[in-house]
Structure 1
């Protein structure tokens, strides 16, 4: 296992029913995740509803998360922004608090404002000068193409670019090409998308996975068995959790983890800010029906 390996889920951001941030709930979310045996935690990512959180709330949540985790596991703070200056300021703030890594997508704003390859390189280079390891998030949400040669160039020429969260279509193929072309410069190849392609991605060379906080304790054995060279056990562990992962990925999105945390007494509300609709009761019921037989920590943590 490398320094950047294992399961590093995204922490959801809990709200009260009135839409205000539940800061006490946030500490419980982080404690629950650590008790699930995670190897690291990412905050303020897309699955944290970062696009629904104000700058003031982001600052307070960053401070709360890093200080409450207090070195128990590494912390990744998401800092994505279209403006390079703001991304740099966010990186400096995360570093000042003691965060271990920052994660960022390439610069984009909506469907039409997208950074070119050179603008993307320049933004990551500027953040790299802050002196904190960077995870590049290659996600369809940005709409920005990040070809393997560009990723390899950033890995080789920007010292702090060390990790890569690849969650584009045909993730395994891109991971395989990235590792083949980048070699030792690719220190932490990860997949995402709730681990829906995890086994193929591990076989392609991924060392870690950034899932949601739904059932990381049940997904982790896939990575552990694979790292130990036991493919049969890894396949069996993956087959066990795949129906739940599929339901989360295709039907629920980031609402799944909060629904499970309410059910398990971790937080008191699964509220999502408008315009995100609540989970349909039938979709929520199906989610709980699929994860209950797995006996995940999340369903008994607060009971």
Structure 2
């Protein structure tokens, strides 16, 4: 049985819209959030990797944090990604998120490039210092960091660091790791979630995941899968998942974070699906394939602003 305070359902990552000249589209950001609210999902994450956080300046990050949390105004619970190699910077980002009303922060272990990677103790210490800020923490176990987070370390942090409560597991073999994390961590594992756009969601739900942190492309349809599975109707969950899987696979393997932006531009949510250099634009053929897979699903993102 899930922990009573577990994060459940679908928690999409909000894409960050830019104008065609590469500047932030702040009104577009508000429209993205309004669209996500209308998807009737469980919560939202901002400034994550699928928000292109690695292409955003520090000043822009603060602007977006304030704008997003103030515009949401409690309509949806929000998690703010605050990952950085420098622990003092992570702590300051956590304080800002806490003060603006976020319900949690998501952090990858400390890393910078291919070679600067936090040790197990350095990772532990960084999360412990953020815990002192007094805001719940979601550990993001993602291949991007290149930092190994074995289950015993995750369990130790959950049991010893008060604010470490939530886990986004999106490494290879996520279901196996989720199952071990839940078995070994017990009640200390408040929310075991998966990621990667939901590409392994069915296996992860079978393993005990309480929800998923997906993209904002088809969030309401992904939530239906989680809801069916949680209610005990696995057959319906399989049917729903089978229906959306081609689009999820295309997003995961072909378009990445550009996919949700392409859908939202097509649906009139944002005016541009520009991505900052060195990220190339979505090839026209890939975009057409994506939209062809999405139209039969009729997601809110594809019609919200029309």
Which TM-score applies when normalising by structure 2? 0.98
Unpaired segments ≥5 residues, structure 2 = none
42, 57, 73: which is aligned to 1:54?
A: 57
Q: Partner of 2:87 in structure 1?
A: 84
> d(CA) in 1 for partners of 2:78 and 2:63?
15
- Pairwise CA distance, 1:126: 0.2
Matches within 5 A, 1:159-238: 159-238=162-241
- Pairwise CA distance, 1:218: 1.2
> d(CA) in 1 for partners of 2:35 and 2:239?
25
- Pairwise CA distance, 1:38: 1.4
> d(CA) in 1 for partners of 2:150 and 2:132?
23
Q: Partner of 2:150 in structure 1?
A: 147
> d(CA) in 2 for partners of 1:75 and 1:160?
16
Q: Partner of 1:271 in structure 2?
A: 274
Equivalent pairs counted in the alignment come to 303
> d(CA) in 2 for partners of 1:219 and 1:40?
13
286, 290, 293: which is aligned to 1:290?
A: 293
Determine if the alignment matches structure 1 residue 73 to structure 2 residue 76: yes
> d(CA) in 1 for partners of 2:30 and 2:122?
37
Determine if the alignment matches structure 1 residue 32 to structure 2 residue 45: no
Q: Deviation digits for residues 129-172 of structure 1, max 9, x if unmatched?
A: 00000000000000000000000000000010000000000000
Secondary structure in 1 matching 2:288: helix
Secondary structure in 2 matching 1:180: helix
Unpaired segments ≥5 residues, structure 1 = none
17, 21, 35: which is aligned to 2:20?
A: 17
> d(CA) in 1 for partners of 2:102 and 2:255?
29
Secondary structure in 1 matching 2:152: helix
- Pairwise CA distance, 1:37: 1.1
> d(CA) in 1 for partners of 2:303 and 2:231?
29
Large movers: runs of 4+ above 2 Å: none
Which TM-score applies when normalising by structure 1? 0.99
- Pairwise CA distance, 1:219: 1.1
> d(CA) in 2 for partners of 1:119 and 1:219?
35
Secondary structure in 1 matching 2:79: strand
> d(CA) in 1 for partners of 2:242 and 2:86?
42
